[in-house]
Structure 1
Amino acid sequence: MDRREVAAVLAYIGRLDPRTIPAGTGDARDQIVQWQELLADVPFATAHGWDVREAIRAHVLDSPYPILPVDVARKWRAYRRDRMERHTDPTPDADPDDPAAWRTELLGTRHAVATGVAAPSSHRQLAQGSVRDVEARLAVVGSSIPPAVRAALAPYRPARAAREAAVAAGQPDALRVPCRWCHADKGEPCRSRRLGLDGHARGNAPRTRPHPTRMDLAVAELARQGIA
Structure 2
Amino acid sequence: MDRRETAALLAYIGRLDPRTIRTDQGEARDQLAQWHELLGDVPLATPHGWDARVAAQQHIRVSPYPILPADIGRPWESYKRDRLNRHTDPTPSVDPDDQAAWTAELVGARRAVASGVARPAHHRQITSRRIDPGLKARLREVGSCIPPEARAALAPYRPTRAAREAAVAQGQPDALSVRCEWCQAQVGEPCRRRRIDRDGYARGNAPRATPHPGRFDLAAAQHHQQAQQPAMA
Q: Per the shorter chain, which TM-score range? A: 0.5 to 0.7
Establish whether residue 83 from structure 1 lines up as the match of residue 74 from structure 2: no
**CA offsets, 1:161-185, max 9 Å, x none?**
2212221222211111221211212
Distance 1:196 1:107, change over 3 A: closer
TM-score by length of 1: 0.56
Give the Cα separation in 2 of the matches to 1:178 and 1:2: 69
Secondary structure (helix, strand or coil) at the match of 2:195 reads coil
Which residue does 2:118 correspond to in 1? 118
> Does the Cα contact within 8 Å between 1:88 and 1:120 map onto a contact in 2?
no
Q: Which has the larger radius of gyration?
A: 2
**CA offsets, 1:46-84, max 9 Å, x none?**
xxxxxxxxxxxxxxxxxxxxxxxxxxx65x354133135
Per-residue deviation, 1:5: 4.4
Specify every segment of 5 or more residues in structure 2 that has no aligned partner in the other structure, as ranges: 1-50
Distance 1:7 1:175, change over 3 A: same
Secondary structure (helix, strand or coil) at the match of 1:120 reads coil
> Does the Cα contact within 8 Å between 2:190 and 2:209 map onto a contact in 1?
yes
Give the Cα separation in 1 of the matches to 2:84 and 2:153: 47
Give the Cα separation in 2 of the matches to 1:144 and 1:112: 41
Give the Cα separation in 1 of the matches to 2:53 and 2:154: 70
Secondary structure (helix, strand or coil) at the match of 2:188 reads coil
Per-residue deviation, 1:209: 1.9
Give the letter for the 1:178 counterpart: R
> Does the Cα contact within 8 Å between 2:174 and 2:219 map onto a contact in 1?
yes
**CA offsets, 1:77-111, max 9 Å, x none?**
54133135x1247458xxx9xx9xxx6x8765433
Give the Cα separation in 2 of the matches to 1:160 and 1:137: 24
Secondary structure (helix, strand or coil) at the match of 1:218 reads helix
CA RMSD of aligned residues (A): 3.9
Deviates more, 1:163-172 or 1:113-122: 113-122
User: How many residues align structurally?
Assistant: 170
> Does the Cα contact within 8 Å between 1:80 and 1:115 map onto a contact in 2?
no
Per-residue deviation, 1:135: 4.2
Give the Cα separation in 1 of the matches to 2:115 and 2:53: 19
Per-residue deviation, 1:194: 0.6
Establish whether residue 7 from structure 1 lines up as the match of residue 65 from structure 2: no
**How do 1:152-171 and structure 2 match up within 5 A?**
152-171=153-172
> Does the Cα contact within 8 Å between 1:190 and 1:211 map onto a contact in 2?
yes
> Does the Cα contact within 8 Å between 1:89 and 1:121 map onto a contact in 2?
no
Give the letter for the 2:158 counterpart: R
TM-score by length of 2: 0.55
Per-residue deviation, 1:143: 2.3
Give the Cα separation in 1 of the matches to 2:55 and 2:194: 75
Secondary structure (helix, strand or coil) at the match of 1:178 reads coil
Distance 1:108 1:212, change over 3 A: closer
Give the Cα separation in 2 of the matches to 1:7 and 1:112: 26
Give the Cα separation in 1 of the matches to 2:153 and 2:92: 42
Give the Cα separation in 1 of the matches to 2:86 and 2:106: 16
Per-residue deviation, 1:188: 1.2
Which residue does 1:38 correspond to in 2? 71
Give the letter for the 2:167 counterpart: A
Give the Cα separation in 1 of the matches to 2:151 and 2:52: 67
Per-residue deviation, 1:205: 2.5
